[in-house]
């Protein structure tokens, strides 16, 4: 079993709709959680950190469920520019980040 798992998608989302997807992790000692966005053939860029209490940044909401060991990302009012691959990143010991394979989101007009 992979340490970090994501539904690869693609999630095809009409512009203006809401999309949500999860990422599960297997190491209960994981300490830090992030969502990164990666555009085709580019480096990943931090979208947002995920805090225990959940956090929101504009149209993006991230949640952490430690009991069930997953994090989620919700995108409201999707824009065409939200089309990308979203990587789940989990850190559980010093210097060790584990990456999910990514969830592809395609926002259509």
Partner 1 sequence: DGGITQSPKYLFRKEGQNVTLSCEQNLNHDAMYWYRQDPGQGLRLIYYSQIVNDFQKGDIAEGYSVSREKKESFPLTVTSAQKNPTAFYLCASTEGRDRWEGTEAFFGQGTRLTVV
d(CA 41, CA 39): 6
| Contact flag: residue 102 with partner 1 (CB under 8 A) | yes
Query: Nearest Cα to 69, choosing from 103, 34, 29?
Result: 29
From 64, 73, 100, 107, residue interacting with partner 1 (rule: CB under 8 A):
100
Smaller CB separation from partner 1, 5 or 76? 5
102 and 85 Cβ atoms separated by less than 8 Å: yes
The residues, any chain, with a CB within 8 Å of residue 96's CB and separated by 6 or more, are none
Among residues 28, 53, 94, 109, the one that binds partner 1 under rule CB under 8 A? 94
Q: Which stretch binds partner 1 (CB under 8 A): 10-18, 64-72, 76-84, 90-98?
A: 90-98
**Member of 15, 46, 77, 79 binding partner 1 (CB under 8 A):** 46
């Amino acid at each position: 079993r992979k340490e970090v798992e994501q539904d690869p998608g693609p999630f095809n989302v009409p512009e203006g709709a809401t999309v949500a997807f999860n990422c599960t992790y297997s190491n209960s000692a994981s300490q830090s959680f992030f969502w990164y966005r990666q555009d085709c053939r580019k480096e990943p860029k931090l979208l947002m950190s995920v805090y225990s209490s959940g956090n929101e940044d504009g149209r993006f909401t991230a949640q952490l469920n430690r009991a069930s060991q997953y994090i989620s990302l919700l995108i409201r009012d999707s824009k065409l520019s939200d089309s990308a691959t979203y990587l789940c990143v989990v850190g559980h010991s010093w210097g060790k980040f584990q990456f999910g394979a990514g969830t592809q989101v395609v926002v259509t007009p």
